[in-house]
Amino acid sequence: MTGHRLVLVGGGHAHVQVIRALAQRPEPGMAITLVTDRLLTPYSGMLPGHVAGLYSHAEMHIDLGRLAEVCGVTLVRSAAAAIDRTRRTLTTEDGDSLPYDTLSLNVGITPDLSGIVGAEQHSIPVKPISSFLSRLDTLLEAAARPDGPRRIVLVGGGAAGVELALALKARLKGLDPMGRPFWIGLAASNGLVATLNDGVRRRARAALAGHGVTLLDDFRVVEINAQGLRAQDKRFVTADAVLVSTAARAPSWLATTGLPTDRHGFVQTTRSLTCIDDPAVFAVGDCATVAEDPTPKAGVFAVRQGAALTGNLRRRARGEALAPHRPDRNYLTILMTGDGSAIAGRGGWFAVEGRWVWRWKDWIDRRFMQRFSTFRR
């Protein structure tokens, strides 16, 4: 193989594994560039633990600068802004123009606040995680003041919303200088953790009640303002701060690339993870959807795409036929409850809970992170 220029855009859950795997067993003649808007990329599995005060900022981030350096990858610190697919070049926000033979996108998602009036001005979206973390720090600082926010609502009854509500409850405990309690509400419109099995749903509901998080059932938020939030059925709940963990859409710049996208802007790919109309462009993780076999937007799928993507990037560089990726939908979900315990579920019936489940999750997450923080060639 003569020189092959691989440009990876975004240091998401799949690309960090590609970088590591291609450093462990380099592909002859392949030059790899990583384009990233930030040097530290967050690992979402540890975000609720960080919010609860159990993990430091460093523990929940992968240092892309270090990873690129030890793996011999050229790092371009800028956001990707445009793709010229005819000339095969990627342009960054800083105006760099990077030619590629293969391009791969793993850039995550942005919140879709379009259905909620006032959400842009009056809420804190949990994605992208980097901006969420700085706004969370500001919120926690304010909460420690006697006149700071006391009523906080999380919008979104999915796994992330449940974990964040419980994590926040744990973090805020005892923070009020006068010893007053914080009121935390969780607004869910499509049921609670509706994609998980009955046993997990029951346990999640009990955990919220047990920790004093008020569940606002069937509360479809249509407006957020400085006083609180309004549901479609006109109920109004006062709140000093509103965090939103609901629908998401693809980053808007992808729409300008001419890549085939679905109605939410996600890049449509084949089972081999290439764009449906361009074998030179791969897309993985939350920013992409396998057209024939869509999966939920969850880090676990992005993580598992890592190995399949690495294999297909090697095959493309060698001029070989690509292999389809078959996602395993029977995946394990573990929700932390903020009190040193966790709930695990898998498939249609498996559900367990306990302190050992939290230790299990902690072990899985730390082991994943260690693969990058201690990696040497």
Ligand X SMILES: Cc1cc2nc3c(=O)[nH]c(=O)nc-3n(C[C@H](O)[C@H](O)[C@H](O)COP(=O)(O)OP(=O)(O)OC[C@H]3O[C@@H](n4cnc5c(N)ncnc54)[C@H](O)[C@@H]3O)c2cc1C
| C-beta of residue 313 within 8 angstroms of C-beta of residue 19 | no
What one-letter code names the amino acid at 346?
Answer: R
Q: Please choose, out of 103-111, 173-181, 185-193, 234-242, the segment that lies near ligand X by the rule CB under 6 A.
A: 103-111
* Residue 224 three-state SS: strand
Between CA 262 and CA 251 the distance in angstroms is 13
Strand order in the sheet with 89-92: 80-84, 89-92, 97-99
If binding is defined by CB under 6 A, does position 11 make contact with ligand X? yes
Beta bridge partners of 354: 342
Does 106 bind ligand X (CB under 6 A)? Our answer is yes
Work out whether 107 is an interface residue with ligand X (CB under 6 A): yes
What is the secondary structure of 134-148 as a DSSP string? HHHHHHHHHHTSTTS
Nearer to ligand X, 2 or 252 (CB): 252
Nearer to ligand X, 185 or 251 (CB): 251
> Which lies closer to ligand X via its Cβ, residue 18 or residue 317?
18
Q: Which of positions 36-75 make contact with ligand X (CB under 6 A)?
A: 36-38, 41, 44-45, 47-48
User: In whole angstroms, what is the distance from residue 308 CA to residue 311 CA?
Assistant: 5
**178: exposed, middle or buried (Cβ count in 10 Å: 0-12, 13-18, 19+):** exposed
**Is the Cβ of residue 331 or residue 375 nearer to ligand X in the bound state?**
331
Q: Which is nearer to ligand X, 299 or 338 (CB)?
A: 299
Segment interacting with ligand X (CB under 6 A) among 17-25, 34-42, 95-103, 313-321: 34-42
Candidate list 52, 80, 168, 229; residue touching ligand X; CB under 6 A: 80
Position among 4, 50, 61, 127 found at the interface with ligand X (CB under 6 A): 127
Question: 299, 311, 338, 345: which one contacts ligand X (CB under 6 A)?
Answer: 299
Instruction: Answer for the pair 299, 15: CB distance below 8 angstroms, yes or no.
Output: no
Q: How many helices (H) and strands (E) does the chain have?
A: 9, 26
Question: Where along the sequence are the contacts to ligand X (CB under 6 A)?
Answer: 9-14, 35-38, 41, 44-45, 47-48, 79-80, 106-108, 126-127, 160, 163-164, 245, 251, 285-287, 297-300, 302
